[in-house]
Amino acid sequence: MELANRRTLIKAMGVAWGMALSGTLARALAKAPATLKPDAQSALIVVDVQNCFITGGTLAVKGGEEVVPVINHIAGAFQNVVMTQDWHTPGHVSFASSHAGKKPFDMIQLPYGQQVLWPDHCVQGTADAELAHDLKIPQAELVIRKGYHKDVDSYSAFTEADGKTSTGLSGYLRERGIKTIYIAGLATDFCVAWTALDGRKAGFRVFVVEDACRGIDLNGSVAKAWAGMEKAGVKRIQSSDIELAA
Ligand SMILES: [Zn+2]
């Protein structure tokens, strides 16, 4: 190689290296601020941290129980905590066992759209539907139950899967003066994501605490959920981004 060509090559490599660096810098700057301090207008929403979704439950999410200590830890930073509880009737429409010839994780068409079929889970009044025993958030102010209409599922804590039946949560938060919600729990790609998206629709600032969530991941659904949430303006943060009270 001629010297001039070599110089050009080295120069080009330098430019590429600089671009790579500035890309890293841009990504770092685009990230949420390192320290977030929840105020009186912030609420933590703990989604479906129930026996059914952790090891030993009827619809266990891989590593589901790992979110419990993380959530207990960050909950101390919040003046307002709301918990949700998946709370189905026996024979619920989202159960595969309610549809002849269907098995868990099959899809069906319901009047309100596509529905994944699940194993029977979180049946009202059962130990399976109870909040996880190790979840220690005695200051939680509200437990909102969802999925209790036999013919409609509800992943979101705000609106049932028909897209119009409200759970009342946005009215509650608004009347309490809440403007920002932080979401943690199970599962990232279903109840957490749907709650986050509906939270944005309802006009709240929304953070999802990634390491305080675990996903089910059916055919890449976790990556899809994050893409959808980020597009909707949901901020992806880690528990370490939240400033704990001194
Ligand atoms: Zn359910």
User: What is the tens place of the pLDDT at every residue in 157-191?
Assistant: 999 999 999 999 999 999 999 999 999 999 999 99
Strands 113-116 and 107-110: antiparallel
pLDDT bin (cut points 50, 70, 90) of residue 244 is: confident
Ligand 1 centroid to Cα of residue 147, in Å, is 6
Give the residue numbers marked as catalytic. 48, 146, 191
Is the pLDDT at 12 greater than 70, yes or no? no
Question: Can you read off the two tokens belonging to residue 233?
Answer: 């303006």
Ligand 1 centroid to Cα of residue 34, in Å, is 34
Ligand 1 centroid to Cα of residue 154, in Å, is 7
Ligand 1 centroid to Cα of residue 88, in Å, is 7
Helix (H, G, I), strand (E, B) or coil at 217: coil
Which residues are within 8 A (CB) of 113 and not within 5 positions of it... i.e. 6 or more apart?
Answer: 161, 163
What pLDDT, on the 0 to 100 scale, is given for residue 220? 94
Helix axes 221-231, 193-201, angle to 10 degrees: 10
Fold of 36-241: Rossmann fold (3.40.50)
Is the pLDDT at 1 greater than 60, yes or no? no
Is the pLDDT at 66 greater than 90, yes or no? yes
Domain ranges of the chain: 1-32, 36-241
Please tell me which of 6-10, 12-16, 72-76 the model is most confident about, judged by mean pLDDT.
Answer: 72-76
Structure confidence by residue, pLDDT tens digits, 45-62: 999 999 999 999 999 999
Ligand 1 centroid to Cα of residue 42, in Å, is 26
Stretch 205-234: mean pLDDT: 96
Of the chain, the percentage scoring pLDDT greater than 70 comes to: 85
Q: What are phi and psi of 58, to 5 degrees?
A: -75, -20
Question: Can you read off the two tokens belonging to residue 24?
Answer: 């890293």
What pLDDT, on the 0 to 100 scale, is given for residue 35? 87
What pLDDT, on the 0 to 100 scale, is given for residue 147? 96
Is the pLDDT at 145 greater than 70, yes or no? yes
Is the pLDDT at 132 greater than 70, yes or no? yes
